[in-house]
Structure 1
C-alpha cells in the first residue's frame, strides 16, 4: 500500500500572508486525516463543544508541526480500515462512525514466510479521550512493526460520541474481532501485547484489568471480556489514577474541564480507577512503563510504578531524565519516533516483548 502523504499542506511559502483564523481553518482541514475537529459536536452542549473543539485544535497544531518528519519504513505491509463492528465504515455526511475501524501493519517478510509466530502489539492511541484516531499513531506503529511485530491499531469513539465505558467497550469489540480473525495472518496466537499512550495508556491499563479481574469488568460494564491471552503491555505516559479527589488537583479534575463529568458516569468509587487497589487485586502480566522528567503527567506513571511495586507485580520503569537544555515532553516516543531517545524506547519495547514471548 502506498504511503499516505502526511505533508499535505505547508504554509512556509507565505508565512505572513495567512491570518490566525485562516491558519486554524487550514490546520483543521489537514488534521481531519487523524482526528475529529467539529463534525461530531453539533448535538453537544455548546460550552462543552467549544472546550472540546479548542482542545482538539490546540493539540492538532502540535501534531501538524511534526508531520514533516512522519515517514513509513520500507517493507511494511499496511492493511487499513477493517471494520470491527458493522458500522465501521466512515461517511461524515451520512453520520456513520469512524470509531469502529482498525489497521494492521506487519513486515512483508512475515507475509512471505507465513507461519503463525510473529509477536503482536495492539495499539490504543492517545488524545485526552476526545482527540485522535488510529492514523495519529501510524508513524509509531509502522516503526514498531519494522522491529519485528504485527501491529493492530484501533479506533475508538472519542468523547463526546461516547463515555469512558463506551470507549472500553469499543476496545473490547476490537479485541474480540482480532481474536476471531487472527488466523488470517502470520501472527502468534500466544504472544499478544497491548500498548497505549496518554489516554490510550489508560485504556490499555483498564483493558488489562477487565481481562484479568471480573470485578473490574463488571465495574466497566463488560459482561464478556475478549479472553485474548495478553502476555504484557507497554504503557507510555498514561493516565492511571482517575479517582475523584476534589480536595487536591488531579487528572480527573483536569479532564472533566474538557470532557465533562458525564464522561465518568457510573464509575465513581469504582475499584479500577484507583491504581493501588487495582494492582493489588489483579494478577497482571509484565508491564513496561515509559515517561520522562518533563512529561506533564510524569507523576501518573511513577504512581502506577509505586502501586505495582507495593503489589509485587512484574514491571520495568523507564523515566528518561531530560537535560535542562533539551525537551522531550509528553509521549515523545510515539509523537516523535525519529528522536534518538525514541529509538531507544522502541528498542526497549522490542526487548521487553521478546523477553516475554513463549
Structure 2
C-alpha cells in the first residue's frame, strides 16, 4: 500500500536539505496509513524547527571525522540488498588525540533523539564535534527509526553497535576503560534503557537482549530525555502520572512500536522503577524550565536522590523574554548555556574516569 503523500505545504528545498539528517517518506510504503501519515507529519514539522539552525552548524577545525562505518554487515553497501542507513556510525576525534596516539582519551557514545522516528546520526553532528572538542572521542550511532523497527529493535541496534565498538576500541587512540553514554530526548530514553540492559541481566532479558555488550560504561549524560514509557495500566498507582508519554508516542508511532515489552513493563519503563531495579553508573542530567518534558528529568533525578546515587541535575532557567526549550545543547551549541553545559559534561566525566 502506498500512502498519499501531501508535501505541498512544505518547502521542497528544505525537505531536500533535510535528507542529510533524516528519513522523510522513503520508508513509509506498506505501513498502516494512519501511522504513516502521523510519522510523516511529525518528521516534516520537526524539519521546520531544525532547518533554520543548520546555518549555525559547523565542525571545529581541530576535530577529525571518520564517517559511515558499518557496524553490521548490511550497513556496508551491497549492490543486491543496498544499504541499511540505520546500521552506520561515525567517530569524532580531537585532532590532538590522533596526533598523540596514546590510549588516554575518554569516549562518549551518542544516541540521537527524534521521537524514535526522526533523524539519523547526522542530526547530532554539530553536537558531537563540539563534544569532541572538549576532549572526548565521540561515537555517534545510527539506529533504525520507526516504522522500520520497534523499540526492542532500536535497543538491539544499539547493542550491535556497542559490540562492534568493544571489538574495535583498540583500533583508536582512546581509553577503553573510560566509556560514557549520552542521548537526547528519545535518544536519552535509549541511553538510559541501554544502561539498564548493561547493568542488569533481568533488564537485558526483558528487552530481548541475550547478552549485553559488557562495554562497561563509567557514566552517562542524559539530555532532556523521555523516561516514562510504561503503559498506563501497568504504571497505575506509582504516584506519578505515567502513561501519558506512552500514549502520546503511540498516537504517532502506533501501538506496535511497544510490542513485546510485557516483561519490561513497568519495571524498566519508568524512571523510579529503573532506578530501583538497576544500579546505574553516575549520571549527568540536563533539562530546562521550558523543556516540554522537564518533568521526566525531574522524576529521574528524584528517584536517584532517594536512592543516594551519584548524579548531577542541571535544570536551566531561561532569562526573561528568552527561551532554551528542548535539547538546547544539541540543537543550539553556540549558545552560552550550551557551551557551559559542554564544559560541565567534561568536568563531570573527567572526574569519574
TM-score (norm 1): 0.91
In the other structure, the counterpart of 1:343 is: 339
What is the match of residue 44 of structure 1? 31
- Offset of residue 25 of structure 1: 2.4
Give the number of aligned pairs.
338
Question: Is the alpha carbon distance of 1:239 and 1:175 closer, same or farther for their aligned partners in structure 2, counting shifts above 3 Å?
Answer: same
The residue that corresponds to 2:307 in the other structure is: 311
Looking at structure 1, the residues matched to 351 and 79 of structure 2 have their Cα atoms a distance apart, in angstroms, of: 43
Q: Does 2:318 match 1:322? A: yes
Separation in 2, partners of 1:320, 1:51: 31
Taking the TM superposition and a 5 Å limit, the aligned residue runs for 1:208-287 are 208-245=195-232, 250-268=244-262, 269-287=265-283
- Determine if the alignment matches structure 1 residue 33 to structure 2 residue 29: no
Q: Kindly tell me: are residues 270 and 222 of structure 1, through their superposed partners in 2, closer, same or farther at Cα, counting changes over 3 Å?
A: farther
Does the 8 Å contact 2:224/2:291 carry over to 1? yes
Deviation at 1:234, TM superposition (A): 0.1
Which residue is equivalent to 2:4? none
SS of alignment partner, residue 179 of structure 2: strand
* Structure 2: runs of 5+ lacking an equivalent: 1-6
Q: Distance in 1 between matches of 2:16 and 2:37?
A: 17
Match of 2:348 among 336, 340, 352: 352
Q: Distance in 1 between matches of 2:301 and 2:157?
A: 27
Q: Deviations over 1:161-208 (max 9, x none)?
A: 000000000000000000000111100010100000000000000000
Partner residue in 2 for 1:144: 131
Question: Which residue of 294, 303, 311 corresponds with 2:290?
Answer: 294
Distance 2:305 2:82 in 1: 46
The answer to whether the Cα contact below 8 Å between 1:233 and 1:286 also exists between their aligned partners in 2 is yes
* Residue 96 (str. 1) matches residue 83 (str. 2): yes
Q: 1:66 — aligned with what?
A: 53
Which consecutive residues of structure 1, in runs of 5 or more, have no partner in the other structure?
1-19
CA contact (8 A) 2:109 2:182 kept: yes
Alpha-carbon deviations, 1:288-344, whole Å to 9, x = none?
000000000000000111111122211100000112310010000000000001001
How far is 1:90 from its partner?
Answer: 5.8
Deviations 1:209-233 (CA, angstroms, capped at 9, x unpaired): 0000111101100001000010000
